[in-house]
Amino acid sequence: MKEILQPGPAEALASLLDVDLPDLDREGLPLLWHWFYLLDRPAQADLGPDGHPVRGVIPAPPEPGRRRMWAGGRVRTLGPLRCGSPAERHTEVLSTKEKQGRTGRLTFVVTGHKIVQDGAVVVEEEQDIVYRDAAAGRAETATEQSEVPVAEDEWEIDVSPTLLFRFSALTYNAHRIHYDRDYARDVEGYPGLLTHGPLQALAMAEAARRRGSGGRLAFDYRLVSPLFDHQGMIVRADESGTTVRDRHGRRTATGTVRSLDR
């Protein structure tokens, strides 16, 4: 997949999250902002009942009816990815493993991406995707305790249905669990709209950017628990790593950002 990178998606993301927009021609895109470029745009006929593509993309579900979850990943930025120039994305499935989990069959897929610009690889990425069988009952959720106040070094993001819908639109993600509350509740058994895993990862990367991280970076992250819209999203970055929690203190994502220039 190849395209000339335009500033529009980056400008839209900066407005969505109210974050600083860098000099896209000189500095290039910040960590993880490549997710808004070189997107798969499957035909409507290739979408399954849940809104996720069933064919024509990598990876495709191993069989109909499986639920897809983003579990984590690893990203290395090896150079600036600049707007105004063409870039090309190469994608392949690196591994597939079958396991038996507490709720049934699990298929773990690791997908690799490389983005090339001006003849050099500027982004290397591995994404961990899990496919599970459709749940027979309602999804389990943690018992919510009293709220934990937001600290001075934390960043609270208002996870509204509007924010989730706009983030889905920016990433061309039609998965209904993020914007269709009736589907999320009645079909997949969730208590609310599911906050995107990539949105949590991006928030952690942005929290690290606020602390001054830049240049060539490595970012490893894990999504450890579902996060729903009514639970809020609070992000923190310090010298020990990055985290996302809900307003009750339950951790839902963790990550580490380190410089490749040191």
Quote the mean pLDDT of the chain: 93
Dist. CA 246–CA 141, nearest whole Å? 13
Tell me the per-residue pLDDT of 64-78, one tens digit each, with 9 for 90 and over.
Answer: 888 899 999 999 999
User: What secondary structure letter does DSSP report for 169?
Assistant: H
The answer on pLDDT for 8 being more than 60 is: yes
CATH number of the domain located at residue range(s) 2-259 in this protein: 3.10.129.10
Tell me the per-residue pLDDT of 149-208, one tens digit each, with 9 for 90 and over.
Answer: 999 999 999 999 999 999 999 999 999 999 999 999 999 999 999 999 999 999 999 999
Confidence class for position 63, pLDDT limits 50, 70, 90: confident
Nearest to 58 by CA among 38, 75, 36: 38
Residues 6+ apart with CB under 8 A from 247: 147, 148, 150, 156, 231, 232, 234
Specify the pLDDT at position 137. 45
User: What secondary structure letter does DSSP report for 59?
Assistant: S
pTM value surpassing 0.85: yes
Dist. CA 21–CA 84, nearest whole Å? 15
Q: Which residue has the tokens 């990943």?
A: 73
Specify the pLDDT at position 140. 52
